[in-house]
Structure 1
Amino acid sequence: MAPRNRKLQEEAIASARRIQFQTSRNCLIVFLFWVTSLHIVGLFFFTRGFLLTRLILDDQSTCNTPPTSIDRNPDCWYPKQFSKAIIIVIDALRYDFTIPEPDSDLLYLNALTLPFDITQRVPRNAALYKFIADPPTTTLQRLKGLTTGTLPTFIDAGSNFAGTAITEDNIIQQLLSAGRKIAFLGDDTWTSLYPLHFDVNMTHPYDSFNVWDLHTLDNGVNKHIFPLLEDQEWDVLIAHYLGVDHAGHRYGPDHPEMRKKLIQMNQVLENIVKKVDKDTILLVMGDHGMDPRGDHGGDSQGEIEAALWMYSPKPFIGSSNLERTVDQIDIVPTLSLLLGLPVPFNNLGSPIIDVFLEESQSSWRNVAHASRITASQVKRYLEEYARIKGQDIEHRAMRDWALADSMWNETISYDFSDENKNWRTPAEAYLKFLRNNLEQCRRLWAEFNPSSMNFGLGILLSSILTCGVYCFGIEGQAIELVSMFLQRIGLGATIGCIFSIIAAATVFYSVSILTASLAGYAIGSLLAFASTILSIRRRLRFQPNFTFENCVAVLVFLIHAILFTSNSFTIWEDRILTFLIATLAVSMTLAAYRESIAGNVSRYSHGIIFLVLSRIASYSRVCREEQSRSCKTTFYASDLSTTTSPQTVLGLFIVFLILPRVIRRYLVQSGSWEGGAKPWIGLGLPLGLVMVVAYWALDAADNNGWLSNTDALGFYKISLARTILGYSLIAANYGWFHGPHCLDIKVNSISKVDFKADDTPSLHDSDLRVQIQGRNNAYGSFYLLFVVNSFIALALLSKPMAGISLAILLYQILALLELNQTAEKKSYLPVVVMFGLLAHSHFFSTGHQATLPSIQWDTAFIPSSEIVYPFSPMIIIANTYSAHILTSLCLPLVGLWRQQSIGPYDNLENLGRIAILKIFYHAIISTSATIWAAHFRRHLMVWKVFAPRYMMGGISLLVVDLTTTIISFGIGVSKTFKDISEIFGY
């Protein structure tokens, strides 16, 4: 019975240890979720205070309530000049697309010539303007400005994927209130902004986000617009073309496809002009421009300079001898007054002077009338806005108003029959008020909430302190304390939520229940954690390890964190990171050299490989506007394109041909080229990579017009992309869950030999010796297979040059893991800091910058021809933060690589510290960017440099948190420990 009891006792102990491990693992994952929740709450409150949307007033202008006295008995506020209007929006129509340059060889010039030619031929019937957009130059925000006359706020750019209905006063609503019929064709963004405003029988919206489709929407608009022009059952016809914008995103402006689209638009305008009668005004406009690569969203000159062309067979344009540059919001009061409508209540624009000048150049009578009405409405809006906000209007523009009004009342009688009056003087005074007020609003519109910002920063800093205490302050088994932490954190969070909800319901009525709950949750849980730390303060020991590489890692860490104190440092972060990576890599290589000088010299050679790869990766870049004079874009085929060169696809094929051999080499060196590694790396990975190369080869063929049947090609591309994603994320992971490990059993037969008296050998029965191959890297090799599956999907969702960058990143990680094995006493700090640096560096080398135009929106359509929520936004995030995702997936390898198959509980302790340390690094970098964005919130470059960098840092922090918590630990580590423990009986 003794052996049986002993066996039962061993099984009970093993079962208890498994339960203990599972409990500790689950507690660690929940603790990581809690840290992530602190980051979410901190960023929420900071963003709520930093990127506030403006106050939207619900007031509506009406004909019965003009903002000033009206003595001319007009149709409404101003005599109606036109009964009908045709509004053609050519998305991304840059101003220089419409200006001929006979001696230029740029493909986008001399293609759309109609507006300029007609304006030159009949200047009293047409006018061509440089149409200045307010950033952000995204379509949804521009449409809001073009219809309401208001300024956008920066946070509105985040809603460009899904607009919400406009509730403030706007020209579309004014048309509807006046009983006008509105027909609409084209970009479905309009129907999301104005869902019930267009005549259902004359509305034909089309999906707007498939930037790879240049023709479907435009052809659909052309199909319906000309029958509508013949029927004339509408009062206003709006058509929004997208082909030019999509050609820019896909190919860049200087491309044959762009020229084809501009020629097509020129022909469309020729046909429309023939249908315009004298009672109709035609407006052709771009909602924004595009940068040299065809992107938009920022505030570069090419992005904000759109074109506006107005035409009518009836003469209506005067000559002001002024530069024809107008703000986009100026179209709102101009068109409203021309159509006999009230100016929308929230409008901040000015009437366009040329449109209201009479035939005589010296007569400014109508300009004075229109500018006084518009200025009076703006003043009424400002007074109402100040009343609701409880503020006084004291800025300089109001002094301009007082001067203009005094001039009007004292020197000009309100008699429009007198043409000899000096109408120009009061007109220019009112226009000056409007311009100055607009500039003041642009500078002061962002109403920051310091209390909310400071609270958010406090939560972020507290989360950093929490991670720091866990990583560096707790002596001994920190994993044992996580359960106690969570119990008290849960209690504190519950109490905090209850008290905050009661306070919001009884005292602070202006605070929403959600906001109060989040604040109470964060404060309560942090106080509970702090109380727990105080109760175990005797176990707190800060014992820094002052090794050379640790000191360099801390120095590099701090330098990266303080980059955001300067806009110049932030702009050149990509180049600075290359230097920081090289510095830390040299220190780690020198440490490896010292410890390997008497042993295996090849160990520290991995540091040299790492340095070479870092230099190669830095070659891939996308230059931001501020770098243009000292930077050349290498990520795309040229500075003026967003397409991939065929040579890059060939390079991707070569790199992917080498990558499986590189991984095999590292597995062989670690003794893990056994079992499942051979079919996985030898066959499965190459198959997935070949399919990725095939997809991008098809894309190159599509972009370069090598194949004629583009519809079939698009179908094949989407089918192949879905096959790759299914293969890598579903089939391969299913095989990983149920397939073999990187282990093999080798049985050796050993014969016993005896010698007789005469020294003659005699063979006896053999003994069997069992040897487990791959045991010394059982954890790391098996987990690496999980990483490889995700790598295939990331390579597909990244463009070819980015795929090369990610392959280099994976190679660098493997070299770094081998380099770290040379340390006699492993220090994880330099390795984890290097992981963070690599994530940020390869963010840039995968074709991104901390700017809106660098977002690769077209990748959302790799597996689909239309937007599919929530998958399309997830694909954009995976593309943008592929380097952060890959480094987070590889993070457990820092503690698992070449880790002998000891008990999983011992490994979990190290992995917990490594995970918290990685989050600690990214939290400091992101919080630093957030702090300096708050500090420089009145800086000239805040919306161009500091705010985008803070937003990029905040999203990357959450991506790292969730990837580390859910995928790396929740799935990868859990499965790895479970299988290896069962194999070795732990």
Structure 2
Amino acid sequence: MQQLDFAVTVSALLGIPFPFGSIGRVNPELYALSAGTWDNQRTGINACTPQDDLVAWKMRYAEVLCVNSWQVKRYIDQYSGSSIIGFSAEYLHHVEELYSKAQANWSEVLKPTCPSETAKGEEFKESASSALQLQIDAYSSFLESFAKLARSAWTEFDLWLMGTGLLLMILSVITQAYILVRLNAVCQPSDQECPSSRIIPKLSFAFTLVTIRAASLLSNSYILAEGRVTNFLLATSCIAGVWSSATNGNFTIEEFIFLLLNIFARFGIELGMSKQIAGPTATKDHPVSIICDIFGSSFCNVSMDIFPIISLAMVTCIVLKLIAYAVHQRFLKYFIICGTILSYAFIANYWASESTLLSHTKAVQEIGRSLAPRFVYAIGGLSLVISVLWRLFAPVDSLKFNKRITSLSAAMLCSWSPTILMLLGRQGAFVALICITGAWCIIMLQQKYQKDSKLDITGSCVANPVSVTQWSLLAVCLFYLTGHWCTFDGLRYGAAFIGFDNFHIIRQGFLLSIDTFGVSHILPVLSLPFVAIHCYNTASKKSKVKDVTINILIQVHLMYGLITAITTTVTIVCVTIQRRHLMVWGLFAPKYVFDAIGLLLTDLLIC
């Protein structure tokens, strides 16, 4: 039985009115299974001859279909009269003709007739059964025709376009994988012994993680629990690393911290996925609220006001150290430092204006709530413009390529991060600490892998796919950690109005996009140069391969883009398979929209 027929079939069995918006047909198999549809069937409609059970049941089922068709026709008339788009006039006329024909036949069936004296009773029963079957077929034809019309008008899925898009995505995945394999072969020195002995297990493990996550998207239950599944896969990679290190006897503190970080992220995801109110200011949605039930509501309220400020101070110190270390141009460095200090000061001012611990005048609150966010947006936009202009028009200095890349990446990160933290609300600083700690752990573990494998001696410059996969999985975890989920009602619409009271479609749409994709796409992609370059500083000094920094950077970005492309491709396959599913517009289509926009944004930032 099709899902479209479920509501009307249950209504017919229960004897209640059909739902007005339902366009399904009462299923004959399920309707016949009910014993109540076979009761009291011996009285004929013409009161001349008794009817057997089958003919009487067909009569009752035809009556049900008559009411079913009338309800659908009433819905067609009202929808066509009120809808702006409506249905095609040609198809609508065809459906109305089918209904008129069915009603005319029904009038003939209901005419009271008695068999003649010469006619046999069996022949009359057979004739009545045939007439009822024709009537049932007529109503069924009308209902099926309109259901087909509604599917074509409402779902608007073009199989040819879907197939073309899916084919292009598959070709894109194959092309990226081929380029990555060729690049790895080029980057591998010819005199290195057994080059695949170390990279193949890593590649197989990373491919397994990506495949499991992508395959889970074929189930609607796993889509709803994608954050938990991704966190489980990330924790699995951490446990595998801990087990490998413990076996070799070289366990490090970074592995323990990374595993502990996943535990915190797990609790944060549970809290984030339980949120039902959008907007970072509507609810105090900091992950520290998990312990409110243990220590009491008063302690929780104080913690929600104090802990974000402490987290923000820690993030500020880390960012300033990053700028001092990574940005080497004097003008750009001091400008970014000043802009960062001012931005985080305005963020703290904005939080303080909403705090219940401090008493403020109405004017101070208005300044903190309206002007402070706008100053943060303006400083971030100005820093971004200056960083881009410096990249395009600044003369090439004596700095090495990796230092130029890290300078530009640090400037871009510091330009985007204050705006993203402002939109995320009080949880933003805590999420930023998780992101920074995760990046530090991945870099340190990559350097440990490089040292243990003696890659600095052999000169290999092949990127570790497990590290890139972990960074991608962590980015997905951050998406759900901040209270987002892949449905349209999961958008945090309140974040778009931080600092503004009036609605403007471009401005609020841009802020909503930054809030949705900032911590899961913008920051992780802009951080890839640090994950790539800082892992191979030693290898780049002793490598026998030319331009090792460029090769490593290309490999890491290709791996990250390939992971995103594989996930999006499987999502397209899922939407193609489930295009007639009842939850296609509530679950599968929004997931496809989020993944498609995420893929476009990832490719744009990588390029």
- TM tier, smaller: 0.5 to 0.7
Q: For each residue in 1:46-104, what CA deviation from the matched residue of structure 2 results, as whole angstroms up to 9, or x when unmatched?
A: xxxxxxxxxxxxxxxxxxxxxxxxxxxxxxxxxxxxxxxxxxxxxxxxxxxxxxxxxxx
Q: Tell me by how many angstroms 1:866 deviates.
A: 3.1
Residue type matched to 1:584 in 2? S
Following the alignment from structure 1 to structure 2, what is the Cα–Cα distance between the partners of residues 408 and 695?
Answer: 76
Following the alignment from structure 2 to structure 1, what is the Cα–Cα distance between the partners of residues 481 and 424?
Answer: 11
Q: Tell me by how many angstroms 1:588 deviates.
A: 3.8
Gaps of 5+ in 2: 1-15, 24-69, 112-139, 188-194, 287-300, 392-397, 456-461
After superposition, where does 1:879-898 map in structure 2 within 5 Å? 879-882=515-518, 883-897=520-534
Instruction: From the superposition, tell whether residues 889 and 401 of structure 1 become closer, same or farther in structure 2 (CA, over 3 Å).
Output: farther
After superposition, where does 1:393-408 map in structure 2 within 5 Å? 393=95, 402-403=102-103, 406-407=106-107
Indicate conservation of the 8 Å contact 1:635/1:847, yes or no.
Answer: no
Q: Tell me by how many angstroms 1:460 deviates.
A: 0.9
Q: Tell me by how many angstroms 1:839 deviates.
A: 1.7
| Worse-matched range after superposition: 467-476 or 853-862 | 467-476
Residue type matched to 2:382 in 1? I
Q: For each residue in 1:770-824, what CA deviation from the matched residue of structure 2 results, as whole angstroms up to 9, or x when unmatched?
A: xx99999786477435423321221112232244223311221122112211123
Following the alignment from structure 1 to structure 2, what is the Cα–Cα distance between the partners of residues 567 and 377?
Answer: 34
Instruction: From the superposition, tell whether residues 471 and 401 of structure 1 become closer, same or farther in structure 2 (CA, over 3 Å).
Output: same
Instruction: From the superposition, tell whether residues 661 and 637 of structure 1 become closer, same or farther in structure 2 (CA, over 3 Å).
Output: same
Q: For each residue in 1:693-743, what CA deviation from the matched residue of structure 2 results, as whole angstroms up to 9, or x when unmatched?
A: 322343456xx9976848x7445423211211222332487489879xxxx
Indicate conservation of the 8 Å contact 1:464/1:923, yes or no.
Answer: yes
Residue type matched to 2:580 in 1? R
- Of 460, 464, 479, the match for 2:169: 460
- The alignment partner of 2:513 has SS state of helix
Residue type matched to 1:852 in 2? F
Q: For each residue in 1:413-472, what CA deviation from the matched residue of structure 2 results, as whole angstroms up to 9, or x when unmatched?
A: xxxxxxxxxxxxxxxxxxx99999988876664243211110110011111111111111
Residue type matched to 1:402 in 2? A
1:859 aligns with 2:499: no
Residue type matched to 1:609 in 2? I
- The alignment partner of 2:217 has SS state of helix
Q: Tell me by how many angstroms 1:649 deviates.
A: 4.5
Q: Tell me by how many angstroms 1:881 deviates.
A: 0.8
- Of 549, 554, 565, the match for 1:912: 554
Residue type matched to 1:608 in 2? F
1:836 aligns with 2:478: no
Following the alignment from structure 2 to structure 1, what is the Cα–Cα distance between the partners of residues 405 and 80?
Answer: 70
1:618 aligns with 2:266: yes
Q: Percent identity?
A: 19
What residue in structure 1 maps to residue 566 of structure 2?
A: 924
What residue in structure 2 maps to residue 102 of structure 1?
A: none
After superposition, where does 1:220-369 map in structure 2 within 5 Å? none
- The alignment partner of 2:437 has SS state of helix
1:937 aligns with 2:579: yes
1:958 aligns with 2:600: yes
Following the alignment from structure 1 to structure 2, what is the Cα–Cα distance between the partners of residues 325 and 578?
Answer: 41
Q: Tell me by how many angstroms 1:584 deviates.
A: 1.5
What residue in structure 1 maps to residue 348 of structure 2?
A: 693
| TM-score normalised by L of structure 2 | 0.63
1:812 aligns with 2:512: no
Residue type matched to 1:558 in 2? T
1:607 aligns with 2:255: yes
1:581 aligns with 2:234: yes
Residue type matched to 1:795 in 2? L
Following the alignment from structure 2 to structure 1, what is the Cα–Cα distance between the partners of residues 505 and 207?
Answer: 41
1:449 aligns with 2:75: no
Indicate conservation of the 8 Å contact 1:664/1:681, yes or no.
Answer: no
Following the alignment from structure 1 to structure 2, what is the Cα–Cα distance between the partners of residues 404 and 544?
Answer: 78
Q: Tell me by how many angstroms 1:846 deviates.
A: 1.4
After superposition, where does 1:31-180 map in structure 2 within 5 Å? none
Following the alignment from structure 1 to structure 2, what is the Cα–Cα distance between the partners of residues 859 and 636?
Answer: 8
- Of 449, 474, 477, the match for 1:823: 449
Instruction: From the superposition, tell whether residues 690 and 660 of structure 1 become closer, same or farther in structure 2 (CA, over 3 Å).
Output: same
Residue type matched to 2:558 in 1? I
- The alignment partner of 1:822 has SS state of helix
What residue in structure 2 maps to residue 769 of structure 1?
A: none
After superposition, where does 1:796-811 map in structure 2 within 5 Å? 796-811=422-437
What residue in structure 2 maps to residue 870 of structure 1?
A: 506
Q: Tell me by how many angstroms 1:939 deviates.
A: 2.2
What residue in structure 1 maps to residue 311 of structure 2?
A: 655
- The alignment partner of 1:799 has SS state of helix
| TM-score normalised by L of structure 1 | 0.41
1:566 aligns with 2:566: no
- The alignment partner of 1:850 has SS state of coil
Indicate conservation of the 8 Å contact 1:636/1:643, yes or no.
Answer: no
What residue in structure 1 maps to residue 120 of structure 2?
A: none
Following the alignment from structure 1 to structure 2, what is the Cα–Cα distance between the partners of residues 955 and 637?
Answer: 21
Q: For each residue in 1:854-884, what CA deviation from the matched residue of structure 2 results, as whole angstroms up to 9, or x when unmatched?
A: 1112222224333445333222111101121
Q: Which has the higher contact order (CA 8 A, sep 6+)?
A: 2
Indicate conservation of the 8 Å contact 1:802/1:847, yes or no.
Answer: no
Residue type matched to 1:617 in 2? A
1:793 aligns with 2:435: no
Residue type matched to 2:206 in 1? A
Indicate conservation of the 8 Å contact 1:595/1:823, yes or no.
Answer: no
Indicate conservation of the 8 Å contact 2:278/2:491, yes or no.
Answer: no
Q: Tell me by how many angstroms 1:611 deviates.
A: 1.8
Following the alignment from structure 2 to structure 1, what is the Cα–Cα distance between the partners of residues 525 and 433?
Answer: 15
Residue type matched to 1:620 in 2? G
Instruction: From the superposition, tell whether residues 407 and 776 of structure 1 become closer, same or farther in structure 2 (CA, over 3 Å).
Output: closer
Instruction: From the superposition, tell whether residues 401 and 871 of structure 1 become closer, same or farther in structure 2 (CA, over 3 Å).
Output: farther
Indicate conservation of the 8 Å contact 2:95/2:146, yes or no.
Answer: no
Indicate conservation of the 8 Å contact 1:549/1:591, yes or no.
Answer: no
Residue type matched to 1:789 in 2? S
Q: For each residue in 1:203-253, what CA deviation from the matched residue of structure 2 results, as whole angstroms up to 9, or x when unmatched?
A: xxxxxxxxxxxxxxxxxxxxxxxxxxxxxxxxxxxxxxxxxxxxxxxxxxx
What residue in structure 2 maps to residue 722 of structure 1?
A: 374
Following the alignment from structure 1 to structure 2, what is the Cα–Cα distance between the partners of residues 879 and 809?
Answer: 16
Following the alignment from structure 1 to structure 2, what is the Cα–Cα distance between the partners of residues 774 and 373?
Answer: 74
Residue type matched to 1:801 in 2? Q
What residue in structure 2 maps to residue 355 of structure 1?
A: none
Instruction: From the superposition, tell whether residues 846 and 632 of structure 1 become closer, same or farther in structure 2 (CA, over 3 Å).
Output: closer
Instruction: From the superposition, tell whether residues 467 and 700 of structure 1 become closer, same or farther in structure 2 (CA, over 3 Å).
Output: farther
Instruction: From the superposition, tell whether residues 888 and 792 of structure 1 become closer, same or farther in structure 2 (CA, over 3 Å).
Output: same
Indicate conservation of the 8 Å contact 2:257/2:441, yes or no.
Answer: yes
Instruction: From the superposition, tell whether residues 594 and 893 of structure 1 become closer, same or farther in structure 2 (CA, over 3 Å).
Output: farther
Following the alignment from structure 1 to structure 2, what is the Cα–Cα distance between the partners of residues 811 and 634?
Answer: 28
Following the alignment from structure 1 to structure 2, what is the Cα–Cα distance between the partners of residues 371 and 609?
Answer: 63
